[in-house]
Amino acid sequence: MRLILRGAFNDQYVKLLNQASDVRSNATFSSFEKDRKEEELYIRASSLKKAYREAPLGCGVCGTQAIEDDLKYNEYNHEWFCEVCYNENQEHYKKNPHPWLPCWRKLYP
């Protein structure tokens, strides 16, 4: 199932980026139209990427997509991580508290 969803994401994401590139090189659009159409496509691509990162399809840090990797959900930032990245982040926040962020126990319980 993950493979199918990743494929669908990749196809749509690349399609949106290619459309944005086509808009930029299209001589029939004014500069204003290019900016507006490009922005719309990049917003859609960004929204799609956000949905991808919030789905259990790969690690939000290293991007690993190996099926055999167990992904761990982080409730704070609504992303999935492989076990290695999750543990590294947890250790990092334990050793380097960020005063402007919640305690590591909340970030990476």
Q: Which residues make up the interface to Zn ion (CB under 5 A)?
A: 59, 61-62, 64, 82, 85
Would you say 55 or 61 has its CB closer to Zn ion?
A: 61
Q: How far is the CB of 46 from Zn ion (least distance, A)?
A: 21
Q: Give the distance from CA 77 to its chain's centroid.
A: 11
Distances (CA, A) of 34 to 15, 25, 37, 49, 73: 17, 9, 5, 22, 38
Q: How far is the CB of 74 from Zn ion (least distance, A)?
A: 12
Structure token digits, residue 57:
């399809």
Query: In 3D, which of 81, 17, 83, 10 has the Cα closest to residue 45?
Result: 17
d(CA 92, CA 96): 6
Q: How far is the CB of 1 from Zn ion (least distance, A)?
A: 20
Adjacent-strand bridge partners of 79: 74
Would you say 23 or 59 has its CB closer to Zn ion?
A: 59
Would you say 41 or 59 has its CB closer to Zn ion?
A: 59
Q: How far is the CB of 64 from Zn ion (least distance, A)?
A: 5
Would you say 44 or 56 has its CB closer to Zn ion?
A: 56
